[in-house]
A and B are shown apart, each in its own frame.
Chain A
């Protein structure tokens, strides 16, 4: 079975600070996708990124960056120069490439950016 752990339940920082959200996953499969989703107060989950297990290259998109390390089964998410609009609940998720098609989510990290 697959499992995703987000140990940080809540994080609160002041605007413009950098913040990293941790994600650790467990799976016996060697081929899988990893995801980050953002859930603003409206409730709709917004897709941020997908990485596959073949590609450990880190990725940067504007103020967002992701660090994927298979050796530690981690897929951490960093927001640089945080803004109030980044406040939301963030979920890490895993999905197998073969077999079960469901996304398995972590518990989420509630991020609050204070002005």
Chain B
């Protein structure tokens, strides 16, 4: 597709369960970002990939959160032992390597932990 695609658009799970959120970036974009947006807040940085490697994972809140991008395209954000506080919209964005800053965002995956 032409834009950043995220699936699922909505996910409801129970506390303690494992969740995977998928991001398919714009074709050719080597940089990929995950952000988390809580209600009424601005997006909060989680992790940034350049190609297959995580160039900056300083925003991951704890070791329950993990993300991969094995082939340098699609990325999966994985959350183990979910907690109610993990409920948020998880946004993915991509950009061209060397691009002067513009990120293209997907519509997000809304996660609700009951």
For chain B, residues 85 to 114, give those with C-beta under 8 angstroms from any C-beta of chain A.
89, 91, 93, 100-108
Residues in B9-63 with C-beta less than 8 Å from chain A = 31, 33, 40-45, 48, 50, 55-56, 59
The chain B residue sitting closest to A95, CB to CB, is: B101
B31 touches A44 (CB 8 A): no
CB distance from A35 to the nearest CB of B (A): 7
- In the complex, are the beta carbons of A102 and B100 less than 8 A apart? no
Q: Mark A82-115, 1 if CB is under 8 A from B, else 0.
A: 0000000001010101001111111110000000
Interface residues on chain B, number (Cβ under 8 Å)? 25
Q: Is the CB of A108 within 8 A of B42?
A: yes
* Chain A contacts for B42, CB-based, 8 A: 4, 6, 91, 93, 105-108
Q: Is the CB of A102 within 8 A of B43?
A: no
**With contacts A35-B102, A52-B100, A107-B41 known, what are 12 further pairs, Cβ within 8 A?**
A4-B42, A42-B107, A43-B107, A44-B107, A93-B42, A97-B101, A101-B48, A103-B45, A103-B101, A103-B103, A105-B44, A106-B42
Using a CB–CB distance below 8 Å, which chain B residues touch chain A? 31, 33, 40-45, 48, 50, 55-56, 59, 89, 91, 93, 100-108
| Contact sample, A vs B, 9 pairs, CB 8 Å cutoff | A4-B42, A37-B105, A43-B89, A47-B104, A93-B42, A100-B56, A103-B101, A106-B42, A108-B40
